[in-house]
Structure 1
């Protein structure tokens, strides 16, 4: 038998919080809520459930999760986002796991995460297929989140097992959210990761993404939601190269201006 700390990241999470919290409270021996600046009812809802909220400015998802893990009372942690809802089968598995013998510290478990866009379940959302199985239950003495700017993941464990059930990942709940995340993800990617600055490569990549993530994936069968996921993949593929090209052009212009000033002096 072992004890488990639940680490939950929040930011303007009131939309789903009353669905997210009850199953997590059922498995938690310790509960860490780490908020990065909510202005909606998130903090009030956490207070309703008797939870203390810690505050930390958001940089990247992996870094935020690692900070939450550092605040946990126990080494075994279950790391969750506030748009992920455990179902009964997943909940019962975790309860049974806790009741058994404590596993080796290098063991980890993967959540069965099913993606929902605009309230509808989808098969793909760039760059993943649904369901995906991210590692979220592990021992912090062996594992941590990496520092990738986008699509970070847990590293350091030796073996992992898929948890049964269906975790509802209710993301991209409005068009505003879709384009807001599209802009944020591509900006962080270009800022923290090397991307080749090329409009031509961006156009080629966007065309390939449209065929792969809209036509070949079958997203066209899902009506307007399929159009949204197809366009998301297309724009994402183009914008990361376009933003890299734009930033590179600005750098070249600044360098040219500095050369001119030096010659004048």
Structure 2
């Protein structure tokens, strides 16, 4: 028998939270919720299910997940975001897994995750194709989330297999949300990664992204939503270089000031 802790991250998640929690209750022996400061009805919805979220300020997604994993009672964990909804086939698979013999500790499972933008299923959303198959069920003794500023992944010595089903990843639910995430992700990337500060490189990257993620991916067949995902890839590819270029003089100034201070000490 396998005992399972569900680790769930929330932040102003009232939009989908009932749909997210309901199937999780069917597979969980324990649910650990880490909230990063919700101001909507998220906390009260959690309490309706007898769940008490734990507050932890948000820095990176992977770090937040690792906080939840550390709070788990059981070593086997299923890590979920509050815009991911398990379908009946996925729930049935996990329930069968729990009833069987406990698997090897170095085994992990990948969710079959389908992306939705503005309420419609899409082929791609930069930088992934849909569906993608992230590792989300594993033994915490053998894996943790990476601390990449964006697009973090589970890292560890794991043999993985896929959970069949249709996990609905209902992200980017409004144009406002799209622009917010575009700004947040690119700023975080520039802050924590070494991005070459180059306007020219940004323009070339943006043109390449438009053709790859809009034209060649077939997103153009998806009408307005396809255009949105194509432009998202284009702006993302340009902004990360533009923001690095814009911040470069300040970084040079800070480095020079630190060097001067060190010489005067």
Gaps of 5+ in 1: 261-265
| Residues in 2 aligned to 1:144 and 1:257: alpha-carbon distance in whole angstroms | 38
| Residues in 2 aligned to 1:7 and 1:257: alpha-carbon distance in whole angstroms | 44
Cα deviation digits, residues 65-101 of structure 1 (max 9, x gap) = 0000000110000000000000000000000000001
Superposition deviation, residue 2 in structure 1: 1.3
Q: Is the 8 A contact 1:117 1:172 kept in 2?
A: yes
Matches of residues 26-65 of structure 1 in structure 2 within 5 Å? 26-65=26-65
RMSD: 1.5
Q: Is the 8 A contact 1:35 1:54 kept in 2?
A: yes
- TM-score, reference length from structure 1: 0.95
Gaps of 5+ in 2: 261-265
Please state whether the residue corresponding to 2:26 is helix, strand or coil.
helix
For residue 132 of structure 1, what is the aligned residue in structure 2?
Answer: 132
Cα deviation digits, residues 242-261 of structure 1 (max 9, x gap) = 1111111223356679999x
For residue 118 of structure 1, what is the aligned residue in structure 2?
Answer: 118
| Residues in 2 aligned to 1:25 and 1:100: alpha-carbon distance in whole angstroms | 19
Runs of 4+ in 1 over 2 A off after TM superposition: 249-260
Cα deviation digits, residues 33-55 of structure 1 (max 9, x gap) = 11000000000100111111111
For residue 100 of structure 1, what is the aligned residue in structure 2?
Answer: 100
Please state whether the residue corresponding to 2:212 is helix, strand or coil.
helix
- TM-score, reference length from structure 2: 0.95
CA 1:258 to 1:102, structure 2 compared with 1: closer, same or farther past 3 Å? Answer: closer
Match status 1:16 vs 2:5: no
Give the total of aligned pairs. Answer: 260
Please state whether the residue corresponding to 1:27 is helix, strand or coil.
coil
Q: Is the 8 A contact 1:149 1:188 kept in 2?
A: yes
| Residues in 2 aligned to 1:254 and 1:64: alpha-carbon distance in whole angstroms | 30
| Residues in 2 aligned to 1:243 and 1:251: alpha-carbon distance in whole angstroms | 12
For residue 186 of structure 1, what is the aligned residue in structure 2?
Answer: 186
CA 1:200 to 1:69, structure 2 compared with 1: closer, same or farther past 3 Å? Answer: same
Q: Larger deviation: 151-160 or 54-63?
A: 151-160
CA 1:96 to 1:256, structure 2 compared with 1: closer, same or farther past 3 Å? Answer: closer
Please state whether the residue corresponding to 1:237 is helix, strand or coil.
helix
Please state whether the residue corresponding to 1:69 is helix, strand or coil.
helix
Q: Is the 8 A contact 2:143 2:158 kept in 1?
A: no
